[in-house]
């Protein structure tokens, strides 16, 4: 079975490698072609344009950083919309706005194509281990076709509805909880340290209560100040926080914690920390306290 994949960043590259390991014929496109070369030695084919990747496979996955990056590969004469044939499927794994997910659904439907939103939970190490979790929404017929592909890349596939944007709502909700955890954990680590409690010891105490791999992973990053290289860049964290707030505004809902995190991430970017891991919000709390 042929599959196209567009975007070979921290997440896309290990996903591409796992597709090849699972026997898929893979056609890849990346704006920087040099990132494709190692994959060709493992059997991947390089497409010259997004349209070509879509045309050769008729099922194309995109994993890109934001709305603008996705729009650049979908629209236009060399875009995915142009390349997919009737019945073709575009699977967006990116964290994008609810607005864009709704627009892509309509645009693909108008072209007799299918749009699936399959947002992903997990960092690059989970992608490499094929241990990702996917939140999937879109037409049932198309979902059934792509489910085996997603199962080869992860350990869970959650179906949340027929409309693609529902996946993006659920992903933003998940990321809101992560942002809330990063904010609250940063705040309290700064406080206990000022009182004389060793942060690593405090982390051991809270992990005995919460037994959370999320607290454990990010807590270690914070206490050891291991923010580089980033698994998920702080500037992308701000992008996601902005998307959360936009989604909340659309349904007249308040997210006060997101507003607070937005101010802290904005401060971090002003300090030049945008390429650090988003757990580096800890640096902001240390500086402003």
Does residue 37 carry a pLDDT above 90? Answer: no
Q: For residue 85, give the DSSP letter.
A: P
169-288 shares the fold of 2-163? no
The least confident of 31-35, 115-119, 256-260 is 31-35
Distances (CA, A) of 10 to 14, 63, 131, 218, 231: 7, 10, 15, 18, 8
Q: Mapping DSSP to helix (H, G, I), strand (E, B) and coil, where does residue 23 land?
A: coil
Q: Give the mean model confidence (pLDDT) for residues 217-228.
A: 95
Count of alpha carbons within 13 Å of 254, Cβ hemisphere only? 2
pLDDT class of 132 with cuts at 50, 70, 90: very high
Cα separation, 64 vs 62, in Å, equals 6
CATH number of 169-288: 1.10.1040.10
Q: Name every residue whose Cβ is closer than 8 Å to that of residue 191 and which is 6 or more positions away in sequence.
A: 289
* Model pLDDT for residues 262-281, shown as the tens digit of each residue: 999 999 999 999 999 999 99
Q: Quote the pLDDT of residue 82.
A: 97
Q: Give the mean model confidence (pLDDT) for residues 56-76.
A: 96
* Model pLDDT for residues 9-36, shown as the tens digit of each residue: 999 999 999 999 999 999 999 988 888 8
Q: Which two structure tokens, joined as six digits, stand for 257?
A: 């914690």
Prediction pTM value: 0.94
Cα separation, 136 vs 162, in Å, equals 9
Cα separation, 193 vs 237, in Å, equals 25
Cα separation, 155 vs 157, in Å, equals 7
Residues designated as active site: 171
Does residue 211 carry a pLDDT above 90? Answer: no
Q: Quote the pLDDT of residue 34.
A: 85
| Sign of the dihedral through C-alpha 161, 166, 168, 173 | negative
So where are the chain's domains?
A: 2-163, 169-288
Distances (CA, A) of 106 to 115, 200, 247: 9, 50, 19
* Model pLDDT for residues 232-241, shown as the tens digit of each residue: 999 999 999 9
Contact 154/15 with Cβ under 8 angstroms?
Answer: no
Q: Give the mean model confidence (pLDDT) for residues 167-187.
A: 97
Percent of the residues in the chain that have a pLDDT greater than 70, as a whole number = 100
> Hey, what CATH class is 2-163 in?
alpha beta
Dihedral (Cα; 182, 214, 175, 188), 10-degree rounding: -20
Contact 268/251 with Cβ under 8 angstroms?
Answer: no
The packing angle between helices 165-195 and 256-270, to 10°, is 70
Distances (CA, A) of 219 to 76, 90, 105, 109: 44, 37, 38, 44
Does residue 138 carry a pLDDT above 90? Answer: yes
- Please name the residue ranges forming H helices in the chain: 12-21, 37-40, 50-57, 67-74, 80-83, 98-110, 124-128, 140-151, 165-195, 199-210, 213-224, 234-250, 256-270, 281-288
Mean pLDDT of the chain: 96
Q: Which two structure tokens, joined as six digits, stand for 214?
A: 């999320």
Contact 54/111 with Cβ under 8 angstroms?
Answer: no
């Amino acid at each position: 079975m042929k599959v196209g994949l567009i975007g070979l960043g921290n997440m896309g590259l290990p996903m591409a490698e796992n597709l090849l390991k699972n026997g898929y014929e893979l056609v890849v496109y990346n704006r920087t072609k040099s990132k494709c070369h190692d994959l060709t030695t493992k059997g991947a084919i390089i497409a010259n344009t997004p349209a070509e990747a879509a045309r050769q496979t008729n099922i194309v996955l995109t994993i890109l950083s934001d709305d603008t990056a996705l729009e650049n590969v979908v629209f236009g004469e060399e875009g995915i919309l142009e390349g997919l044939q009737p019945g073709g499927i575009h699977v967006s794994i990116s964290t994008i706005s609810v607005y864009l997910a709704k627009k892509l659904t309509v645009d693909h439907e108008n072209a007799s194509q299918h749009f699936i939103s399959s947002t992903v939970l997990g960092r690059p190490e989970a992608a490499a281990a094929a241990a990702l979790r996917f939140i999937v929404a879109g037409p049932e017929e198309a979902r059934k076709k792509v489910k085996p592909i997603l199962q080869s890349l992860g350990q869970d596939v959650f179906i949340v509805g027929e409309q693609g944007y529902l996946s993006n709502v659920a992903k933003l909700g998940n990321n809101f909880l992560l942002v809330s955890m990063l904010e609250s954990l940063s705040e309290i680590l700064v406080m206990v340290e000022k009182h004389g409690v060793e942060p690593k010891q405090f982390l051991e105490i809270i992990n005995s209560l919460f037994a959370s791999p999320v607290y454990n992973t990010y807590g270690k990053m914070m206490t050891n100040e291991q923010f580089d290289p980033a698994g998920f860049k702080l500037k992308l964290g701000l992008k996601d926080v902005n998307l959360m707030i936009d989604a909340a505004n659309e349904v007249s809902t308040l997210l006060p914690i997101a507003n607070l995190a937005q101010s802290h991430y904005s401060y971090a970017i002003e300090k030049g920390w945008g390429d650090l891991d988003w757990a580096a919000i800890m640096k902001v709390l240390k500086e402003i306290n």
